[in-house]
Chain A
Amino acid sequence: MATEAISVQHLSKLYTTRDGGVAALERISFSVDEGEFVAVVGPSGCGKSTLLKILAGLLSPSAGSASLRGTAIQGPRRDIGVVFQSPVLFPWRTVLDNVLLPIDVQGLGRERFMSAAMDLLALVGLRGFERRYPWELSGGMQQRVAITRALIHDPAMLLMDEPFGALDAMTREHMNLELQRIWLERKKTVFFITHSIPEAVFLADRVLVMTPRPGRVVDDLRIKLPRVRPLDLMTTPEFGDYTRHIRGLFNVKGGLDA
């Protein structure tokens, strides 16, 4: 029996501006099962980052409720890992020290997590880079350090906010394969935000499609493509059907601004 990892009910977020309010999110409802990979796709300004910040406990909603693993979100919590668009590494810390940041913050004792850190770094292909500094690494490698950091305290869930948006197209495809591999190996719940339709279809079990002004979920699409998915999958007709369908939703709603 699948339990609910994320449950969102009638969630709204209003930003107050000088000439009234702007609805970033309007009465959004959805749920995510434990171990599921869910992608949220939408153009910029559709409130998807706001949604992630609420789930991460960094913002509070204006109305409605959101809960993670059965308990209401009341602020940042320690059973999630967050990956942002940029790697957000601390330049004065080595790769290993950056990975261990959550352990330091949560006072869990480095010794117990040292071997876990080494295993994770090997998993993302960064063996031998433990003593390097972030500025000695490429953008893709830095983002892999950020993913390792999000996984180090063994959270039940990963929240990812356009983690590969700043990478070049080739690195990005490579990182998609890597993320799929890590997910298949670790089976965490992943809540993944992106503005790339192919990326969402390629990675996710389910794609939530959002349109802006006000931010709404207009479709909840199950991607029935077999795993492990190779990059070639993107050229198949089934894959094309999914992406065409999602793109069609944006054109009907007039939400595509890019």
Chain B
Amino acid sequence: MRSTRNVALSVLLFCVSVGGWEALVRAFEVPAFILPPPSQVALALWRGFSSGLYLQHLSHTLLETLLGFLAGSALGLVLGTAVALSRPVEFFLYPYIVMFQSLPKVALAPLIVVWFGLGLTSKVINAALIAFFPLLVNTMVGLRSADEERVSLMRSLAASERQIFWMLRLPNSLPFVMAGLDVAMIFALIGAIVAEFVGAQKGLGMLIQSMNFNMDVSGQFSILLILSVVGLLLNRGVMMIRKRVLFWDPSEKERIEQERVSA
């Protein structure tokens, strides 16, 4: 009962705000190149998808994002593990990693496009560079957060360091790693779009740029809408994997329980 009412309320809220936007734009005769009415955004969306134009650019951006996510996550996992397991690696490498992280990646994107060209490679690299840091930090913290008593238990069984890593530290780090993947996925999308802004032949970021030159504001709105929906879906995808992997994690159970309550 409660859930159907909530759904109805949420649909109503959406209709009222979109309707209000439409009405205000028409009433005050706001020019379409400043703020287009929702009807025009919907029209642009329809045209873009029916001509196949959006799908072509969307799939390209998605490919860049996913490849960047995979490469960045792998890099973050490996580096995070190395830093967590080895004091020398932490001492010599970690300061540089932090320095690199504090650079705004937007400022780095032009260089990467110059080095790796206008094609796919530069976008994947930019996405990976932005995505790897949350995973690096979370892997590092996760691997080091193993409970002292559990480590004592493993030691009392005469377990080797390698066994303690595989049987305890690694599974124990998974909640942290999954939280890192959550962030990394969205970061990868941002990284891909930023690199497309700087220079690309395909992709939704490039499309926004060219629409901006043509003052096609309703087109830009339609792309923004697509990007936010894509971001939401990517996030949901990671969350589904996370629920599968972390069925045993108490904080995950709380989250599931909360969702059940609010549903």
Chain A contributes a number of interface residues (CB within 8 A of B) equal to: 22
**In the complex the two chains form, is B149's CB within 8 Å of A92's CB?**
no
Of residues A76, A101, A105, which shows the largest number of chain B Cβ atoms within 10 Å of its Cβ? A105
Judged by a CB distance under 8 angstroms, whether B156 is at the interface is yes
**In the complex the two chains form, is B253's CB within 8 Å of A76's CB?**
no
Chain B contributes a number of interface residues (CB within 8 A of A) equal to: 20
For the complex formed, measure the closest distance between the CB of A58 and the CB atoms of chain B, giving whole angstroms: 6
Contacting residues, chain A, for B155 (C-beta < 8 A)? 58, 76
Which residue on B lies nearest to A153, using beta carbons?
A: B157
For the complex formed, measure the closest distance between the CB of B153 and the CB atoms of chain A, giving whole angstroms: 5
Judged by a CB distance under 8 angstroms, whether A214 is at the interface is no
Assembly CA distance A135 to B247 (angstroms) = 11
Contacting residues, chain A, for B159 (C-beta < 8 A)? 105
Assembly CA distance A90 to B161 (angstroms) = 17
Of residues A77, A90, A102, A135, which shows the largest number of chain B Cβ atoms within 10 Å of its Cβ? A90
Contacting residues, chain B, for A82 (C-beta < 8 A)? 153, 156
Assembly CA distance A82 to B150 (angstroms) = 12
Judged by a CB distance under 8 angstroms, whether A106 is at the interface is yes
- A77-105 residues with Cβ-Cβ distance < 8 A to B are 77-78, 80, 82, 84, 86, 88, 90-92, 101-102, 104-105
Judged by a CB distance under 8 angstroms, whether A133 is at the interface is yes
**In the complex the two chains form, is A105's CB within 8 Å of B248's CB?**
no
10 contacts between A and B (CB under 8 A): A57-B156, A78-B158, A82-B156, A84-B149, A88-B149, A88-B153, A91-B248, A92-B248, A105-B157, A105-B158
Write the residues of chain A forming the contact surface with B, with a CB cutoff of 8 angstroms: 56-58, 75-78, 80, 82, 84, 86, 88, 90-92, 101-102, 104-106, 133, 135
Q: Name 11 extra pairs, CB < 8 A, besides A76-B157, A101-B167, A105-B167.
A: A84-B152, A86-B149, A88-B147, A90-B150, A91-B248, A101-B157, A105-B157, A105-B159, A133-B248, A135-B248, A135-B253
